[in-house]
Structure 1
Amino acid sequence: MLPQFKNEQNKTPLPNKGKEKPLPLMPCGMKVQKNPIIKVSNLKTYMVGSYIEHRQKEKMIRTIAIVLRSEKPEYHCLLCCNGQKIYVTATYDIHSDHFDFEYGTADITCNIPDKCTKPTHVAITSRSPKEDESLQDIHVFQPVRNQQKQEVFPYNFTVCISAMFDYRNVLMLVQAMEMYRMLGVQKVVIYKTNCNKDIQKVLDYYTRQQFVEIIPWTIASYINVSRGWQKSETPGELHYFGQIAALNDCVYRYMYQSHYVALQDLDEFILPLKFKSWTELLPELEKKYSNFGGFEFENNFFPLSINDSNSKYSPDSWKKFAGDNILEHIIRIRNDPKEFNNFKVIVDPRLVYKATVHGFLDIIKSTVRVDSQIARMYHIRHVPKERLASTFQIQDTHLRDYADSLILAVSKVLQEALETEHISD
């Protein structure tokens, strides 16, 4: 039974630091790279993040990786344990949701030997320890996270945003951050490839407040990434900037830092209909769906092409900033109940083994679709004209229930982060 959530959306609790001694600058005499991406020498394998796996009988290290699926490597882990280097044979498992791209997300795992009481860093190699040149292939260690299995978490809700690239929607970014605050989110993790200078100013603003963590996402420097999920329409070697690997890394990165993680995009808002925040909603969902580990929220499209620019919800001071105003979009496309409708999730990360874009490939407790009269996802994006012409449209103004607080908060951030500087298209 999770503790009662506190509604402190304007306060960002800090993780409990100082329990563990700082790691040496050169553990086992090697450099350390904390951020993704680390290329494995002689292979088309890229390390994303490494984590202690506490949920198996045998203690192991799980490394989230991006691999060339056609390669059949024999992996080994080089562990740094108590200042000593130890080789361990590794196994790997490629996730099934690669969408037929050449590269896919994989788990590389190695058991931790008894003599290794604390593996602080790991490197992956394709050579066996018998080969004299094996160490020459390894140039950098990755820190092993999740050293301790925690039961008390600094955050109630963390939002994972994957694959930010070429992003320039300043107004929606600020609106999203402030909506998340009002909903009770205490940390937003963004896997960023690139953005313009004005977006960077906003990200810096929220990073200084310790509300946002930016994970540098440089996979496009190594692999020809696709900008979509269908290879036939968006060519490349890896699905959508490696989105799935980023989502899996975020789940593991915050597994012992957050009660729940939400996997979603910046144009998506999971809104309760009978409450104002996730802080109020989630205890009710826990009661109603007590046998489930996560909650699916039905996707509902609000087309950007249909807008209501009511001056009450469109302050003049916002008009000089690039981007879309979510308060102007109040027309929802009705979902066909006879068809499958996509969703995004809020989940207990300690139950997840493999995450994908919509849901999970491997989870200890299954997820449940939340009644759309309790909560649903508001997805504000471009919708093809042909779909608009063939669907029923409904006026839905629920987002505007947050307008009074949202307008004040967004205006303040735009002023403080961008100093009323004009942002061009």
Structure 2
Amino acid sequence: MHLRLFLLLIAVFILIITERTPRIYRLITQIHGSTNTCPFQISNQSITPLENTKHFLVSAYMDQRVRGYDIRIISIFRRDLIQTLYCLFCCHLSNTTPATVSVHSDHFGFPFSATDVMCQIPPNCEATHVTLLTQPDGVEVSNQRWLPLKNKKTSREEEKTFQFDFTVCISTLYGEYNNVLQFAQTLEMYRLLGVGRVVIYNNSAGPELNRLLKTYSEEGLVEMVEWPIHKHLNPSHGWLFSKHGGDLQYYGQLVTLNDCIYRSMVRSRYVLLNDIDEIIMPYQHDNLKSMMDMLQQQHPDVGSMFHIESHVFPYKFFTKGKDTPLPRWRGVPGFNILERIVREDPDKKIFHPLIKKYFTPSAEQTSVHYVLKMFGQKYKVPMDICRLVHCPTVPQNERLLSQHKDTRLLDFKDKVIDE
């Protein structure tokens, strides 16, 4: 009886000191084996400063498509301060593996750039979290912030079915963006076309748009990712450093697009990278799935990457007549995309961007209008099959090109308008 009481007191004492003393906890786990969860600070933020550097971590994903690596950490690095780094995993607190830093080639001259950090998981390590160190050992790991490791493989991966057929990734919202009417119409268009999830990185939206996004989030169509980049850097309102200044292009647009690809990779068959004023519109099919089924059947050697050409429906052409539903929405901030029925031909004499549609396993790194690194082949979809309908929110630098009446958006009018 006395022996049992003595052992119980010892157990209680060990429990108390291990809860209060991270260093003792670490020593015990090294002696008696690791735990299944990370014992220290877990980051639940979308932007995590990296200790002792000028860099920031965004998210960590399993990615074994590049030989010799297991994980990819989406990051924001200051390009002139790249240093040697090491990956540390929760299952082996005393072991590190060297990291490979890959700064994206498109940074438009800004000091900070979208960056991938690639690492290999140590043998016999069932990793759940990862962090980066500036030296391989001698670091007080209890001060580090740990990222959850996403997209982990399952034992039944070969039987995996996708949760969504299509996911749309929206570039960062900033500047109290409040174009509610266009935003709502576009989301409903996506839904009608077969999109199951829209991922939005929100830095700053207007009050009415925030309420709208909350409603769509509760329904499950929208996934909101808070993106407080202004708390860490001086984000630029433009795309070119020499013209707009700042630390990072367009509030980290390239970082969020790359993160969204990996966030959606294991749950969505296709990932579309759009701005909110853009809709990938099939012209021979009622929805994206039937169009993609046809394209995959006709081009089985492609299988992965499809490019859609962008066409502007200019701001200067409106049709405010009796057949348009604008009076129903008076007082709602924004404009009505159903009034855009004039399409402008792209100017072939200048660079004309394409918008990407990814079959997710093919993309490794992306810029805004083209892919930086990919696996497999790509195919440019003919314009009579699909176009990107671009309805800019402000007047563009209008060019004297030919215009054509295009009422494709009106084919969805009755379903978009709530009778």
State yes or no: 1:88 paired with 2:97: yes
Are 1:374 and 2:385 matched, yes or no? Answer: yes
Note if 1:144 corresponds to 2:149.
yes
Give the match for residue 237 of structure 2.
Answer: 227
Paired residue secondary structure (1:381): coil
Show CA shifts across 1:292-351 (max 9, x none).
211111111112232111233224231110001001111111124455421112111111
Matched residues in 2 for 1:57 and 1:51: separation?
A: 15
2:94 & 2:306 partners in 1: Cα distance? 42
Q: How many angstroms apart in 2 are the aligned matches of 1:178 and 1:171? A: 11
For 1:86 and 1:208, locate their aligned partners in 2 and report how far apart those are by CA, in whole Å.
42
Q: Distance in 2 between matches of 1:299 and 1:312?
A: 27
Please give the alpha-carbon distance, in whole angstroms, between the structure 2 residues aligned to 1:34 and 1:282.
Answer: 36
Q: Are the equivalent residues in 2 in contact too, given 1:26–1:32 (CA < 8 A)?
A: no
Higher mean alpha-carbon deviation, 265-274 vs 216-225, is at 216-225
Matched, 1:109 2:118: yes
Call closer, same or farther: CA 1:279–1:54 in 2, change over 3 Å: same
Which of 179, 184, 202 in structure 1 is aligned with 2:194? 184
For the aligned residue pairs, the C-alpha RMSD in angstroms reads 2.1
Alpha-carbon distance in structure 1 between the residues aligned to 2:274 and 2:311: 13
Q: Whole-Å Cα distance in 2 between the matches of residues 86 and 221 of structure 1? A: 33
Separation in 1, partners of 2:349, 2:327: 43
Output the CA distance in 1 between the equivalents of 2:234 and 2:349: 38
| Between 158-167 and 143-152, the greater mean CA deviation after superposition | 143-152
In structure 1, the residue matched to 2:372 is 361
Q: TM-score, normalization: structure 1? A: 0.85
Equivalent residue for 2:404, pick from 394, 403, 425:
394
Aligned identity (percent) is 32
Equivalent positions of 1:4-403 (< 5 A) are: 27-81=37-91, 86-116=95-125, 118-129=126-137, 131=138, 133-135=139-141, 137-138=143-144, 140-148=145-153, 150=157, 151-165=160-174, 166-292=176-302, 293-337=304-348, 339-382=350-393, 386-388=397-399, 390-403=400-413
Q: Is the 8 A contact 1:303 1:382 kept in 2?
A: no
Contact 1:301–1:332 at 8 Å: present in 2 too? yes
Instruction: Name the count of aligned residue pairs.
Output: 380
Displacement of 1:123 after TM fit?
A: 1.2
Q: Which runs of 5+ in 1 are unaligned?
A: 1-24, 412-425
Deviation at 1:384, TM superposition (A): 5.3
SS in 2 for 1:119: coil
Distance 1:239 1:200 in 2: 24
In structure 1, distance between residues paired with 2:301 and 2:350:
25
Q: What letter matches 1:162 in structure 2?
A: S
Q: Structure 1 residues 386 and 349, CA, compared in 2 at 3 Å: closer, same or farther?
A: closer
User: What is the CA-CA distance between 1:33 and the residue it aligns to?
Assistant: 1.9
**SS class of match (2:90):** strand
**After the TM superposition, which of the residue ranges 146-155 and 212-221 deviates more from structure 2?**
146-155
> Aligned to 2:123, what secondary structure does the other structure show?
coil
- Determine if contact 2:71/2:120 at 8 Å carries over to the other structure: yes
Q: CA deviation at 1:81?
A: 1.9
Counterpart position of 1:9? none
CA contact (8 A) 1:313 1:403 kept: no
CA distance in 1, matches of 2:241, 2:286: 40
Name the aligned partner's letter for residue 241 of structure 1: Y
Following the alignment from structure 1 to structure 2, what is the Cα–Cα distance between the partners of residues 283 and 328? Answer: 30
Q: Is the 8 A contact 2:314 2:396 kept in 1?
A: no
Which protein is richer in helix relative to its size? Answer: 2
Between the aligned partners of 2:377 and 2:394, the Cα distance in structure 1 is: 31
Amino acid at match of 1:90: A
Task: Give 1:135 shift.
Answer: 2.3
Q: Which residue of 2 is the match for residue 4 of structure 1?
A: none
8 Å Cα contact 2:69-2:118 kept in structure 1? no
Q: Structure 1 residues 248, 304: closer, same or farther in 2, change over 3 A? A: same
Q: Aligned partners of 1:128 and 1:57: how far apart in 2?
A: 23
Distance 1:191 1:26 in 2: 31
Aligned residue for 2:200, secondary structure, equals: strand
Q: Following the alignment from structure 2 to structure 1, what is the Cα–Cα distance between the partners of residues 220 and 382?
A: 34
Assess if the C-alpha contact under 8 Å between 2:109 and 2:242 holds in 1: no
User: Could you tell me which residue of structure 2 aligns to residue 417 of structure 1?
Assistant: none
Letter in 2 for 1:349: T
- Ranges in structure 2 where 5+ consecutive residues have no aligned partner: 1-34
C-alpha deviation, 1:54, in angstroms: 2.6
Q: Distance in 2 between matches of 1:406 and 1:273?
A: 17
* Higher Rg: 2
User: What code does the residue aligned with 2:127 have?
Assistant: P
In structure 2, distance between residues paired with 1:64 and 1:155 = 23
8 Å CA contact 1:68–1:104 kept in 2: the answer is: yes
**Within 2, Cα distance between the matches of 1:382 and 1:323?**
8
Alpha-carbon deviations, 1:129-178, whole Å to 9, x = none? 1x3x442541x211000111644211100001121112100001110110
In structure 1, the residue corresponding to 2:313 is in which secondary structure?
strand
The structure with higher relative contact order (CA 8 Å, sep 6+) is: 1
| 1:420 alignment counterpart | none
Cα distance change on mapping 1:216 and 1:86 into 2, 3 Å: farther
Residue 383 (structure 1) shift:
6.5
